[in-house]
């Protein structure tokens, strides 16, 4: 009888602990989702929609960037995020903090470049000088792209799969494109639900797709 009582008490304690963990997890997820609503995003206009992708017109925008000697999105994103997050969280000459924006952009090439968008209210001359010499401040020109969206957690295999899916969809529509592909990730690492990812590619003869 004492053994059963002991087991029951342990089970109750375990259930209570699991309940507390689930509540904390739910609070963190709700906080992450709420925070995403207030984050400034890379501005664009939708020019045309297709079944599996859309054509977008992105504005010229300022970015902080770091070039990484890796062809693995997983490896490059971990290192790149650490470097750029350090810069906006105060690892710069004046210890200033800069607001986080969305999405995080990663060029899909042999040497990948990760980019954080600079908030619109800041100009290049307003930004503090990075402590890390790998960080560059550069303006991405206005561009016309095709974009495909997918959910869940992104990895190298999934990114490559949706890159190929986008290429096949563009080929089927007779839309020509460059070799400038990018991965866009919209969620922080600790957000489990409503994850959003995109692959975009710059188009040839972009003026044809303007309204």
Average pLDDT per 10 consecutive residues for the chain, totaling 211 residues: 58 67 52 62 94 95 92 81 94 93 91 93 94 94 96 92 97 95 87 87 79 56
Same domain, 34 and 60: no
- C-alpha span between 57 and 64 (Å, rounded): 21
The pLDDT assigned to 73 comes to: 78
Q: Do residues 142 and 200 both lie within one domain? A: yes
Residues 154 and 203 in one domain: yes
The answer to whether residues 20 and 85 belong to one domain is: no
In terms of domains, do 55 and 28 share one?
no
CATH number at residue 74: 3.20.80.10
Task: Check whether residue 9 and residue 80 sit in a common domain.
Answer: no
Contact 134, 96 (CB under 8 A): no
CA angle 133–183–43, rounded 5-degree value:
85
Do 80 and 112 belong to one domain? yes
DSSP for 85-130, written as a single string: HHHHTT-BTT------EE-EEEE-SSS-EEEEEPPTT--GGGSPPB
The predicted structure's pLDDT at residue 145? 97
Shared-domain flag, residues 8 and 90: no
Question: Are 111 and 193 within one domain?
Answer: yes
Q: Which domain holds residue 72?
A: 41-209
71 and 88 together in one domain: yes
The predicted pLDDT at position 34 comes to: 52
Q: 6 and 101: one domain?
A: no
Both 100 and 171 in one domain: the answer is yes
pLDDT at position 159 is: 95
How many distinct structural domains can be found in the chain?
Answer: 2
The pLDDT assigned to 28 comes to 47
């Amino acid at each position: 009888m004492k053994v059963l009582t002991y087991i029951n008490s342990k089970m109750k304690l375990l259930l209570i602990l699991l309940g507390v963990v689930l509540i904390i997890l739910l609070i963190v997820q709700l906080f992450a989702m709420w925070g995403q609503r207030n984050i400034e995003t890379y501005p664009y206009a939708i020019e045309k929609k297709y079944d599996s992708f859309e054509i977008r017109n992105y504005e010229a925008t300022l970015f902080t960037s770091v070039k990484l000697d890796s062809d693995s999105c997983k490896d490059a994103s971990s290192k790149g995020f650490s470097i750029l997050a350090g810069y906006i969280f105060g690892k710069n000459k004046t210890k200033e903090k800069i607001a986080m924006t969305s999405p995080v952009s990663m060029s899909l090439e042999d040497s990948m470049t990760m980019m954080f968008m600079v908030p619109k209210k800041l100009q290049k001359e307003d930004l503090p000088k990075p402590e890390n010499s790998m960080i560059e401040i550069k303006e991405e020109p206005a561009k016309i792209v095709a974009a495909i969206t997918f959910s869940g957690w992104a990895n190298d295999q999934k990114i490559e799969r949706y890159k190929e899916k986008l290429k096949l969809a563009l080929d089927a529509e007779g839309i020509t494109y460059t070799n400038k592909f990018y991965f866009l990730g919209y969620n922080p690492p600790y957000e489990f639900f409503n994850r959003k990812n995109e692959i975009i590619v710059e188009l040839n003869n972009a003026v044809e797709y303007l309204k």
